[in-house]
Structure 1
Amino acid sequence: MADKPKLTVSIVTPDGQVYEGTSTMLVVKTKDGQLGIMPNHVPIIASLAIDEVRIQHENTTKEDAVAVNGGFVEFSDNTATIVADTAENESDIDVARAESARQRAQETIRKAQDAHDNSQLRRAQISLRRAVNRINVSKH
């Protein structure tokens, strides 16, 4: 009996490769919603939201989680490549640092709201989403 097809998953950032492996299913959150990619999926390119990428493995409930902060996913010929602004494997996340970043972002949001500084507010909201994403991924 032939082996089931698998996906090759690669996650890269400007700093280098963050993840490389095979999978039976890849789950990402795009700007339009959640997307599940299985072997032989139609080719696709999509922009990613700040969220986790879940890489599921065959015959196990184990899945790898990677915190991704934007970028895009490209899939064709059973190869998924994620090019992200930044990305961290769940085991590499410094939770104390992420919690500190969350607190700084919340304080900056309060100050920006008081000053009616929309530009600073948007940047702080993105920083908050990134910090919360890292914290959530680290809890897997």
Structure 2
Amino acid sequence: MSDKPELTVSVVTPDGEVYNNKTTLVVCKTTEGELGIMPNHTPVLASLAIDEIRVKTGEDKFDEIAISGGFLEFSNNTLSIVASAAERKENIDTSRAERARQRAEKRIKDARTKHDEKELKRAEISLKRAINRIRISGSNK
């Protein structure tokens, strides 16, 4: 990739940096839809959905990072992603994510029984995060 223009991508959480690399393409899902960023892209600031960040590393290869929402800022060929939680595909503990899914499903059931809308929303977000991590850990991209 060295003969092509590149951008630097950095993913950070409150616990520190999760990912840092140079690339020619990053694909992510914002709250408004999917966004692809290449070198020299127009500066942008956007909220991120609970989904994955895909960073091109080769012809048909991507690094995948599960994120739990956040935001991105791109300018001067630097993409900064700040997320409340982020995890590289190879670091995802699938059994832990599956347990989180089961806990979230139980919390949703309990919240519906008690008609607790706040707890229901929190549990639904937890479920989305768990499902996202399970999906990314098992994806064949």
TM beyond 0.5: yes
Partner Cα separation in structure 2 for residue 57 and residue 119 of structure 1: 41
State the partner residue of 2:125. Answer: 126
Partner Cα separation in structure 2 for residue 53 and residue 137 of structure 1: 10
Aligned residues: 138
Q: Are 2:31 and 1:31 aligned?
A: yes
Q: Secondary structure at the match of 1:3?
A: coil
State the partner residue of 2:86. Answer: 87
How big is the shift at 1:124? 0.2
- Kindly provide the amino acid, as one letter, of the partner of residue 97 in structure 1: R
What's the CA shift string for 1:33-82, capped at 9, x where partnerless? Answer: 11110111000000111100000124x21100000011100001111010
- Paired-residue identity, %: 56
How big is the shift at 1:128? 0.1
When normalised by structure 1's length, the TM-score is 0.95
Following TM superposition, the consecutive aligned residue runs of length 4 or more in structure 1 with deviations greater than 6 angstroms are none
Q: Secondary structure at the match of 2:8?
A: strand
Q: Are 2:104 and 1:105 aligned?
A: yes
CA RMSD of aligned residues (A): 1.1
How big is the shift at 1:138? 0.6
State the partner residue of 1:20. Answer: 20
Unaligned runs of 5+ in 1: none
